[in-house]
């Protein structure tokens, strides 16, 4: 058997061994770092998609539609996503993709900027007091004119502040939307009471998610590190994997447009626009073998992509 064949066999043994194990640690070890293909648009929120296995139909499509409408789509159908965390709790499993979704602790999801009303100046307060204290009609009229001008000045400043707050709210809403689009999403596998013991295996998780995720061809990121020393010494795992990994599997969010061009060659630009904040959005199409890859860039960085057959 060649050295390369030995390495592949070792990777297969590692993967098979992990699948056969059960428990939270085994699930986390097996899935974390893998790339998968998503079969359904996923909401741009840490709420993700809930699958409740105490019901005849795990997916609540009304709830799903509401979240997509409210938060937008972070991972599109056909996108390649990376499993960044698998959190096993008493009654649920969080299957987090590309960061798990925007809106977790520390994420600013507020899109409203409120202007603070301009307070009365000391001069305006003084005019009000003088008007109240004087009995001279002519003097009272003059003071009233001065007071009206001072109030108008304050109201003009209030109007300016309100306009600035509205603009700041629009900018913040756009920023939050961009963060949601780049923040990933998650599946929440839920049970009534504790998770059944037979569901705490990689096979069970893949079966539960098979309608929504394509696991075919994915490899754990740490598999190469677990290969036998002699196989690694004969041929570095990274070299062997890189040589046999399709370009589409190397594509990821955050890459520069130059890096994507290195993977696929020059692409065809489909569109270009500039947002209110001056951010340039470009959409390119690439061809890789029998695959069509559509990539969206914001200021030259990948924010989303989808892969389909030609």
Helix (H) or strand (E) holding 183: none
- Among 147, 177, 207, residue at a domain's last position: 177
Residue 265's H or E segment, with its range, is: none
In order, the DSSP letters of 83-141 are EEEEEE-SSEEEEEETTS-TTSTT--------PPPPPPPHHHHHHHHHHHH---HHHHH
Is 223 found in the same domain as 87? yes
pTM as predicted: 0.57
Q: Are residues 49 and 151 in the same domain?
A: no
Q: Please indicate, yes or no, whether residues 146 and 251 belong to a single structural domain of this protein.
A: no
Q: Tokens representing 278?
A: 């001056």
pLDDT, position 18: 45
pLDDT per residue rounded down to tens, the chain (310 residues) = 455 444 444 444 444 444 445 789 999 999 999 999 999 999 999 999 999 999 999 999 999 999 999 999 999 999 999 999 999 999 999 999 999 999 887 888 888 889 999 999 999 999 999 999 999 999 999 999 999 999 999 999 999 999 888 888 888 888 888 888 889 999 999 999 899 999 999 999 999 999 999 998 554 444 434 444 444 334 444 444 455 578 888 888 778 899 999 999 999 999 988 765 567 888 999 998 888 999 888 878 887 888 887 7
Assess whether 87 and 204 both reside in one domain: yes
Range of the domain at 137: 122-177
Q: Look at residue 12 in the predicted model and tell me its pLDDT.
A: 47
Residue 293 belongs to domain with CATH number? 3.30.1450.10
Where among 197, 215, 245 does a domain terminate?
A: 245
pLDDT for res 254: 79
pLDDT value, residue 7: 43
Claim to verify: residue 13 and residue 85 sit in the same structural domain: yes
Same domain, 158 and 241: no
How confident is the model at residue 244, as a pLDDT?
59
Give me the pLDDT at residue 182, please. 86
Residues 199 and 131 in one domain: no
* Residue 61 maps to a domain: yes
Task: Determine, yes or no, domain membership for 109.
Answer: no
Can you state the percent helix, strand and coil of the chain, rounding each to 5?
Answer: 45, 25, 35
């Amino acid at each position: 058997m060649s050295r390369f064949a030995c390495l592949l066999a070792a990777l297969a043994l590692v993967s098979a061994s992990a699948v056969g194990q059960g428990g939270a640690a085994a699930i986390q070890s097996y899935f974390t770092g893998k790339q998968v293909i998503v079969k359904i648009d996923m909401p741009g929120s840490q709420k993700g998609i809930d699958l409740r296995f105490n019901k005849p139909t795990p997916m609540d499509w009304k709830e799903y539609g509401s979240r997509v409408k409210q938060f937008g789509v972070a991972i599109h159908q056909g996108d390649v996503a990376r499993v960044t965390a698998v959190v096993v709790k008493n009654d649920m499993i969080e299957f987090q993709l590309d960061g798990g979704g925007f809106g977790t602790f520390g994420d600013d999801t507020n899109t409203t900027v409120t202007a603070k009303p301009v307070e009365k100046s000391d001069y305006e307060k003084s005019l009000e007091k003088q008007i109240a204290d004087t009995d001279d009609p002519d003097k009272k009229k003059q003071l009233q004119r001065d007071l009206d001008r001072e109030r108008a000045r304050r109201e003009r400043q209030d109007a300016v502040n309100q306009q600035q707050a509205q603009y700041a709210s629009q900018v913040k809403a756009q920023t939050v939307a961009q963060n949601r689009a780049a923040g990933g999403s998650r599946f929440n596998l839920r049970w009534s009471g504790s998770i059944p013991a037979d569901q705490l295996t990689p096979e069970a998780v893949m079966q539960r998610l098979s309608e929504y995720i394509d696991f075919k061809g994915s490899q754990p990121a740490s598999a190469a590190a677990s290969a036998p020393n002699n196989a690694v010494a004969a041929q570095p795992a990274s070299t062997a994997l890189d040589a046999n990994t399709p370009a589409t599997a190397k594509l990821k969010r955050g890459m520069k447009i130059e890096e994507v061009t290195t993977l696929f060659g020059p692409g065809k630009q489909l569109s270009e626009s500039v947002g209110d904040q001056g951010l340039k959005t470009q959409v390119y199409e690439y061809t890789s073998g029998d695959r069509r890859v559509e990539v969206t860039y914001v200021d030259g960085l990948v924010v989303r992509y989808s892969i389909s057959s030609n």
